[in-house]
Amino acid sequence: MAAGARRPARVFIDLDAIAHNARVLASLVAPARLCAVVKADAYGHGAVAAARAALEGGASELAVALVDEGAELRDAGIEAPILVLSEPGADAMAEVYSYGLVPTIYSLEGLALARRAARGRRLSRDAGPAPVEINLDTGMHRDGVDPEGLERLAPLLEDCRELELAGLWTHLAVAEETDREFTARQLERLGIALRLLSSLGISKPRRVHAANTAGAIAWPSSRLDMVRCGIGLYGYCPSPAVEAALSSQSAGGSADDLRPALSLSAQVSSVRDLKAGEAVSYGLKAPLAADSRVATVPLGYGDGIPRSFFTGGGEVLVKGRRRRLAGSVTMDQIMVDCEDDATVAPGDEVVLIGQQGGERLTANDWAGVLDTICYEVVTRIGPRVPRSYVRTGSAPRGEAARVGQSAGRGR
């Protein structure tokens, strides 16, 4: 049994929302292909289930950050192409081809390791050269080879009979800021690199790609042969500007919206009625302004609710109303100020992300409170909270969220 599976706290993942989002993105970018980015356990959604749903919806392949993440997908029987987005170190690279993964390289060491791994492949299994992709740093300066380095790396790769250049790609640094010219400059540098390769007589990479979700939606010229979408698959636009770009390209119906796939809820474990002036939790930081019913809920910073959720004024839903925390987040529990609602009782559902009644809380609401981005909010919900997978069909958003929160539909 998974850690925490007996707790009255749960993440619900709507697999139909992920499939729907893949469908929306795939049709938006066609004829470019859609690669579903499922690194970091699919941003906290569960890599295997999310990958299957994305493939069902129209993704043609998958990407992960680590060889171990690719191995997890293969062990689960997933056969789609899988690209590893970072250059594996020696131990990981040694196994990359036995799992049928495509490594990214950007250094001479990476090239040597990939070559050794390709030589080590059992020949009976696959006789042709082994694929590698090169990540070109066009300005994000996180990883990738710079254009001068490419001039050295690419000819050496061309000379390796064991390897072939399956792709050349880059990563966009500011694509969610649609008013910044830097994205155009990055794409231009990618084009210059391609011309350089051709002037060196190097075989054309089989494909070229650059776009993340923001690029795929807001920068049509970045779609190239394939887009690599993570956050969009999980139902979020990276910024309001990207959201506006999406609605301006769609037919305008809600069928083209992205739908958040994740909701988080728990049941009230106990309640107590406290007098004005009393305070709760570590530090007794915030004396109650009035007599209040305070509900304890079994989720804490050990599950990915940061302590700054309280200081930033984060809210949760109880009986369809937004309620603030009454005190500091503890490791396993939070306390919610239900004010004068004396009907709140143990067992009541508390929604932290998702819909309840007419109210709705998203990872973006959390991101505003926590001074971060929705990516971090969903990704940090810890493994101690069990994931339940639900299918809500093509129901509109609200309906989907409600079904997603009714307990016990997990598989």
Q: What is the DSSP string of 113-124?
A: HHHHHHHTS-TT
Closer Cβ to ligand PLP, 214 or 241, answer by number: 214
Provide, rounded to whole angstroms, the least separation between the CB of residue 153 and ligand PLP.
Answer: 18
Nearest CA-CA partner of 405 in 235, 297, 265: 265
Provide, rounded to whole angstroms, the least separation between the CB of residue 195 and ligand PLP.
Answer: 23
Q: Which two tokens stand for residue 87?
A: 């250059």
By DSSP bridging, strand 82-84 and strand 101-102 are: parallel
Counting Cβ atoms within 10 Å, is residue 211 exposed (0-12), middle (13-18) or buried (19+)? Answer: buried
Closer Cβ to ligand PLP, 145 or 297, answer by number: 145
Provide, rounded to whole angstroms, the least separation between the CB of residue 323 and ligand PLP.
Answer: 31
Question: Pattern of binders to ligand PLP over 101-120, x per CB under 6 A?
Answer: --------------------
At a CB cut-off of 8 Å and minimum separation 6, what does 391 contact? Answer: 14, 15, 16
Among positions 62-91, residues that touch ligand PLP (CB under 6 A) are 85
Provide, rounded to whole angstroms, the least separation between the CB of residue 34 and ligand PLP.
Answer: 11
Provide, rounded to whole angstroms, the least separation between the CB of residue 63 and ligand PLP.
Answer: 7
Among 204, 275, 282, 285, the one annotated catalytic: 282
Q: Are 29 and 227 in contact (CB under 8 A)?
A: yes
Q: How far apart are CA 263 and CA 352, in angstroms?
A: 7
Nearest CA-CA partner of 348 in 358, 363, 338, 340: 338
CA distances from 165 to 262, 300, 307, 382 (A): 37, 47, 46, 37
Closer Cβ to ligand PLP, 230 or 306, answer by number: 230
Q: Are 59 and 22 in contact (CB under 8 A)?
A: yes
**Of the ranges 66-74, 156-164, 209-217, 338-346, which one interacts with ligand PLP (CB under 6 A)?**
209-217
At a CB cut-off of 8 Å and minimum separation 6, what does 352 contact? Answer: 264, 265, 266, 299, 305, 316, 317, 361
Provide, rounded to whole angstroms, the least separation between the CB of residue 244 and ligand PLP.
Answer: 17
Closer Cβ to ligand PLP, 132 or 351, answer by number: 132
- For ligand PLP, the binding residue among 213, 362, 379, 392 (CB under 6 A) is 213
Q: How far apart are CA 117 and CA 34, in angstroms?
A: 28
CB-nearest residue to ligand PLP: 230
The alpha carbon dihedral of 308, 235, 25, 84 has a sign of: positive
Provide, rounded to whole angstroms, the least separation between the CB of residue 233 and ligand PLP.
Answer: 8
**Of the ranges 23-31, 46-54, 124-132, 210-218, which one interacts with ligand PLP (CB under 6 A)?**
210-218
Is there a catalytic annotation at residue 282? yes
CA atoms within 13 A on the CB side of 111: 21
Closer Cβ to ligand PLP, 310 or 375, answer by number: 375
Is there a catalytic annotation at residue 236? no
Number of residues that bind ligand PLP (CB under 6 A): 13
Closer Cβ to ligand PLP, 63 or 297, answer by number: 63
**Of the ranges 148-156, 223-231, 307-315, 381-389, which one interacts with ligand PLP (CB under 6 A)?**
223-231
Closer Cβ to ligand PLP, 68 or 126, answer by number: 68
Among positions 224-283, residues that touch ligand PLP (CB under 6 A) are 228-232, 238
Among positions 323-382, residues that touch ligand PLP (CB under 6 A) are none
Question: Pattern of binders to ligand PLP over 149-188, x per CB under 6 A?
Answer: ----------------------x-----------------
Q: How far apart are CA 287 and CA 277, in angstroms?
A: 5
**Of the ranges 211-219, 299-307, 319-327, 357-365, which one interacts with ligand PLP (CB under 6 A)?**
211-219
Q: How far apart are CA 37 and CA 73, in angstroms?
A: 12
Residue 50 touches ligand PLP, criterion: CB under 6 A: no
Provide, rounded to whole angstroms, the least separation between the CB of residue 43 and ligand PLP.
Answer: 7
Q: Which amino acid is at 175?
A: A
Q: Are 104 and 86 in contact (CB under 8 A)?
A: yes
Question: Pattern of binders to ligand PLP over 29-48, x per CB under 6 A?
Answer: --------x-x---------
Beta strands in 189-247 (DSSP E): 208-211, 226-229
Counting Cβ atoms within 10 Å, is residue 95 exposed (0-12), middle (13-18) or buried (19+)? Answer: middle
Active-site annotation, residues: 39, 282
In the complex, the residues that contact ligand PLP under the rule CB under 6 A are 37, 39, 85, 171, 212-214, 228-232, 238
